[in-house]
Amino acid sequence: MRVKAATGGNLSFKRKLRKEEIADYTQTLNAAKQKTGQTGKSILIVHDTCLPQNRSSNTGLGTLSSQESLKFFETMKTYLGINTIEILPQGPISPKNGIYCAYDSAALPLANHVINPQLLTEDKFGRLITQEDIQEVVKKNISFPNQANYKNVMDDDSPFDKMLKKAFDRFKNIDESSDLKKNYKIFEKENLDWLEPLTKNASEEEKSFFKFKQFLAEEHLKIARSELNKMGLKLYGDCEIGFSPKEVAAFPDAFAKDTYIGLRSWGLPALNYDNILDSQSASHKLLKKKVQLAARRYDSIRFDVSWCYVTPLLTQKDGTESRKEMGDSLLKLIEGWVKEVKGGDFDVNNLLHEFEASSEEFRAMKNDNELIDPLKGRKKVYSSAHLSENWGTNDAFLNYRKWSPDEFVIGVGNHDPQPLRQIAEGAPDFVIENGKKTAKLYKKDQIAPLARILNISETILQNPIEFAKAKFAEPMSAKNNMLFYMDVFGCRERFDMQNFNNPKAYSFKIWDDFETAYIKAVREGFGFNPMDALAKVFKAKGLDKSEPDLYKKLIKYRDILLEKEPAAPLKKHKFFSTAGIGLLMLAAGALTIGIRHEKAQKHKH
């Protein structure tokens, strides 16, 4: 995420919440959400590799347990009122065409970036590395201040990996009776069933190093989850549909020969669906292992491409396609596997399922408004990127489709679709159809339903900023909603650009001064202002009349987020000459002109 630092060093003209305002802001936000019906999950989706890092310790990839990341989540919880963090898959990634796509990652292990180097400098982890060791990694990342640098951290033999090898060498010399060594041995014993196959062709040293890294990653993920839970945030992990080539080689009997799951272009080997319901089959055991690792690591799970558990599309090497009708048999197995880990009282309605797909890939409906049986009652995740009169809004799902409020999560987008800002500005969405690049425009058809639902004139919604604000507002009346971090920050860039071989895909990092960046985006109009969104819902529902005091508070805080921070008065100092004060005033004037000029330009976040 490329967000310019505030002009003029420490000077800031962006109005942040003040300490004395936070409690009342939070109470107002929570009370308003209760009134609009937003009483379930409020999810912020992030890619943990793109979390903020302090410039002095920027290794290239963010990590969930760092102080910077935890401060970011705390800040977003305050401003947005979120209660859930959802992260993309955390497995190691082998790049394709230079792109490190999270959905091409390994399904079982965790990647290097999950390990927090700062934790390894502490006594709890045996002081396995030093600050000097960390700086050696940071020095290799000088040219990547705002972009995720996967090569520096993720790759085997990367600077980060070499640092971990130093930690491993020191770990081998730690006393066997230490808590760290005892915990490692417990982890190794409990996870041998997948650790050993993934390293069967490696040397003993390589096997031990791999196990050591997995142990650290698991421990650091536990710490991150614990810290988030203390803040009142649940951690959801994304369980991708595929497996990596190394996993296919490690568990060959689990996969159908020369067969891919989903579209051939995905390049993901398919499990053997012919015997996957047989508890003794390799495919059954491998899928169970993947699901239960996710259940152990996270508070709950979002299942990538869940429709491939219902009606999997299988593509042969020669391009031939076929489908298998599984009904809800696999979904029931998955729910049972999660309960084995979480306990019998775990509510499977907390599991999230991606059933959103094109009609060519998957038919979710029996007819125009009735879901197929496996989807009924399960929590489905949808974006409003392609909303229409009868689809993609809370209003349509409740009043036209007749779904229960507990059956779905809705938001303006996630990692997949065109970003909200592009849609609002009328930019075309380029997709590949029949091997050709085709332009799609989505804004025009969305204006009428948004105008009706929110009681806003269609003329007003032609304005890109007002359109974006309306899109943010509509899901705020849903019981469960979601936000993707790049939409929150009003970014124009598309996160997933891998179809066009763009190396910046999956690499937009959150700026280290994220609060300033967020307020800047809100003031520009494309960042998410929750108070504005709730005020629009209040107006549409008549709550501005029935709850006038609460509505006034929404307007108050909406406007606070749009204010400029008043400049501090210039104090006369005995060392300031009249000429010196004049020069300072001239400089301030030049700065003001510069800011006005900057506002007149179109920014790229």
Tens digits of residue pLDDT in 121-144: 999 999 999 999 999 999 999 877
Identify the pLDDT of residue 566. 60
**Residue 594: pLDDT above 70?**
no
Q: Are residues 268 and 160 in the same domain?
A: no
Average pLDDT over residues 451-462: 98
**Residue 585: pLDDT above 70?**
no
Give the helix ranges, DSSP H, for 355-400: 394-395
d(CA 417, CA 237): 20
Identify the pLDDT of residue 552. 98
Asked if residue 348 is part of any domain, the answer here is: yes
Q: Are residues 372 and 245 in the same domain?
A: yes
**Residue 595: pLDDT above 50?**
no
When the pLDDT of each residue in the chain is averaged and rounded to a whole number, the result is 90
* Residue after which a domain boundary falls, among 344, 376, 408: 376
Q: Are residues 169 and 282 in the same domain?
A: no
pLDDT in tens, 385-408: 999 999 999 999 999 999 999 999
d(CA 442, CA 77): 31
Q: Are residues 292 and 337 in the same domain?
A: yes
Q: Which residues pair with 273 in a beta bridge?
A: none
- Residue 155 to residues 303, 318, 436, 479, Cα–Cα distance (Å): 26, 32, 33, 41
284-303 residues labelled b (16+ CB within 10 A) or e (exposed):
bbbbbbbbbbbbbbbbbbbb
Identify the pLDDT of residue 293. 98
With cut-offs at 50, 70 and 90, classify the pLDDT of residue 424. very high
Gyration radius from the chain CA atoms: 25
Higher per-residue pLDDT: 222 or 564: 222
Asked if residue 315 is part of any domain, the answer here is: yes
Q: Which residue type occupies 250?
A: A
Residue 160 structural domain: 108-226
**Residue 601: pLDDT above 80?**
no
Nearest 5°: the CA angle 387, 486, 214 is 115
Asked if residue 301 is part of any domain, the answer here is: yes
Q: Are residues 213 and 284 in the same domain?
A: no
138-177 residues labelled b (16+ CB within 10 A) or e (exposed):
bebbeebebbbbbbbbbbeebbbbebbeebbebbeebeee
Asked if residue 282 is part of any domain, the answer here is: yes
Give Cβ neighbours of residue 554 (< 8 Å, ≥ 6 apart): 28, 32, 531, 534, 535, 538
Asked if residue 590 is part of any domain, the answer here is: no
Q: Are residues 179 and 283 in the same domain?
A: no
Q: Are residues 119 and 189 in the same domain?
A: yes
Identify the pLDDT of residue 563. 84
Identify the pLDDT of residue 288. 98
Q: Are residues 310 and 193 in the same domain?
A: no
Identify the pLDDT of residue 565. 63
Asked if residue 470 is part of any domain, the answer here is: no
d(CA 505, CA 497): 5
pLDDT in tens, 180-220: 999 999 999 999 999 999 999 999 999 999 999 999 999 99
Average pLDDT over residues 460-474: 98
Q: Are residues 275 and 211 in the same domain?
A: no
In 3D space, the residue among 352, 355, 373 whose CA is nearest the CA of residue 312 turns out to be: 355
**Residue 243: pLDDT above 60?**
yes
Report the number of distinct structural domains present in the chain. 2
d(CA 79, CA 85): 14
* Residue after which a domain boundary falls, among 376, 397, 423: 376
**Residue 596: pLDDT above 50?**
no
Give Cβ neighbours of residue 460 (< 8 Å, ≥ 6 apart): 466
* Residue after which a domain boundary falls, among 226, 254, 282: 226
Q: Are residues 210 and 253 in the same domain?
A: no
* DSSP conformation letters of 203-215: -HHHHHHHHHHHH
Identify the pLDDT of residue 85. 98
- CA end-to-end distance (rounded Å), the chain: 6
**Residue 12: pLDDT above 90?**
no
Q: Are residues 260 and 289 in the same domain?
A: yes
Q: Are residues 271 and 295 in the same domain?
A: yes
**Residue 580: pLDDT above 60?**
no
Helices (H) and strands (E) in the chain, counts: 21, 14
d(CA 415, CA 417): 6
Parallel/antiparallel/unpaired status of strands 234-239 and 255-261: unpaired
Asked if residue 562 is part of any domain, the answer here is: no
Higher per-residue pLDDT: 438 or 272: 272
**Helix, strand, coil shares of the chain as percentages rounded to 5?**
50, 10, 40
Asked if residue 137 is part of any domain, the answer here is: yes
Q: What percent of the chain has pLDDT over 70?
A: 91
Distance of CA 507 to the CA centre of its chain: 12
